[in-house]
Structure 1
Amino acid sequence: MRAVYVDCDGTLLTLDCSYDDLFATACDAANIDPTPDLQAAYGERFFEAFESFHPDPYRAGMAAAVEAGDLDADPDTLRDAYVDAEVAAATPADGAHAALDAFDGPNTALGLLTNGVTEVQRRKLASVGLFDRFDAYLPSYAVEAHKPDPAIFAAAKDRLPADEYAYVGDSLEHDALPARAAGFLAVHVDTDADAGVVTVDGLDTLARSI
């Protein structure tokens, strides 16, 4: 039995706009000018809250922006507009459906392993019809461990018992290297690589990959 876990953002899903655009969309919903200072306040507080597993880092970030700009605005409204925009912008990466079809089979379990807020990641995957493709859904908020923490990879093994594991992700630092250290076959998705060329470090890795 093999378990294949896939990363979400940047691997399985992409966004059809920038994070700057998402912030601007949220501000537009409240008739606010999305100045760089407001965006910086949002981003700094969001990531601080996210890293510490604050229950609502999006709202925490928007509350910081409201305070920084001394704005007459509701952080909840801004949060909802931002999350809605992020969900709407989520798009399956090229080849996402075909890759999941190729991984799927009677001797393979599929898992989604992602750094993210549980409900937001779920909404993004569901919006493009991918959430139900997985046998296990493991966002970092569910185990209070963000990649590259070894704890999230250990939790992935506990969630899907298997004889061998693979992890597919776009980041060497947060996906491939910690997955390899945890005993997974690490597959690095590099969209800047030459199209149609697969590089392996040896025939033993190739044999495990097929």
Structure 2
Amino acid sequence: MNEPKKLIIFLDSGDTIIDEGTEIRDEHDVVVQANVIPGADVMVRTLAERGFTLALVADGLAQSFKNILTQNGVYDYFTTMIYSEPIKAHKPSPRMFKAAIGALDLSERDIPRIIMVGNNLSRDIKGANVMGITSVFLDWTPRYPKTPADDSEIPDYTISEPLELIELAERLNRELERAEEEVS
């Protein structure tokens, strides 16, 4: 395990880690089975092994995420998991992002150290942008719009596949460390 990194990564689940097109749901709408997007399991594992703090920030039912993230071997790599079900809000609500910040014992001062990675411009990207969190759009899926509806949905960064996040995260972390050294 590497030394903890400065950069903190919030990740969405559907079409960011899990391929929504492979979801199998039970009669209660709980996802009981699904596959990862190609490379997403390697992305999660590599980021965690390199010392990045990972938080799941996702809309849906807690049991769905427990099922599919455990099946795909990535559940234990997350420091915290924030789901819309217990929060009683969905992204882009600030409550989702604030819950993740609180669960990691962070404060508003830490927002410049956080990135939110997601597939949905109107939820993940807009929610992050409204909070002042750096937004990373994963434009892998054909299921959602790829064109921002307005300025609030314009991502800071765009990647086309999960594995691209590893190098982007390393680069952003180096920039944070450099900025910190210049201040001290």
* Higher RCO (C-alpha under 8 Å, 6+ residues apart): 1
How much has 1:195 moved relative to structure 2? 5.8
From 32, 36, 42, the counterpart of 1:87:
32
**Whole-Å Cα distance in 1 between the matches of residues 95 and 59 of structure 2?**
12
Indicate the residue corresponding to 2:40 in structure 1: 96
CA 1:99 to 1:179, structure 2 compared with 1: closer, same or farther past 3 Å? same
From 66, 72, 78, the counterpart of 1:134:
78
From 168, 175, 183, the counterpart of 2:132:
183
How much has 1:105 moved relative to structure 2? 5.0
Indicate the residue corresponding to 1:208 in structure 2: 172
Kindly report structure 1 stretches of 4+ aligned residues shifted beyond 3 Å.
Answer: 15-18, 192-196, 206-210
Q: Which runs of 5+ in 2 are unaligned?
A: 1-5, 143-157, 165-169, 175-184
Quote the RMSD (CA, aligned, Å): 2.9
Count of aligned residue pairs for this structure pair: 141
Q: Which runs of 5+ in 1 are unaligned?
A: 27-78, 199-205
Q: What percentage of residue pairs aligned between the two structures are identical? A: 23
CA 1:207 to 1:92, structure 2 compared with 1: closer, same or farther past 3 Å? closer
**Whole-Å Cα distance in 2 between the matches of residues 183 and 107 of structure 1?**
23
**Whole-Å Cα distance in 2 between the matches of residues 113 and 87 of structure 1?**
19
What is the DSSP-based 3-state SS (H/G/I as helix, E as strand, rest coil) of the residue aligned with 2:98? helix
Alignment of 1:11-50 (within 5 A): 11-17=16-22
Indicate the residue corresponding to 1:73 in structure 2: none
Report the TM-score when normalising by structure 2: 0.65
What is the DSSP-based 3-state SS (H/G/I as helix, E as strand, rest coil) of the residue aligned with 1:91? coil
Residues 59 and 91, structure 2, Cα contact 8 Å, conserved in 1: yes
Report the TM-score when normalising by structure 1: 0.58
Alignment deviations for residues 21-79 of structure 1 (CA, whole Å, 9 cap, x no partner): x58xx6xxxxxxxxxxxxxxxxxxxxxxxxxxxxxxxxxxxxxxxxxxxxxxxxxxxx1
Alignment of 1:156-175 (within 5 A): 156-162=100-106, 163=110, 164-175=113-124
Larger Rg: 1
How much has 1:9 moved relative to structure 2? 0.9
Indicate the residue corresponding to 1:120 in structure 2: 64
1:7 matched to 2:6:
no
Residues 3 and 160, structure 1, Cα contact 8 Å, conserved in 2: no
How much has 1:92 moved relative to structure 2? 0.9
The letter of the residue matching 2:117 is V
The letter of the residue matching 1:9 is G
Higher helix share: 1
**Whole-Å Cα distance in 1 between the matches of residues 56 and 12 of structure 2?**
6
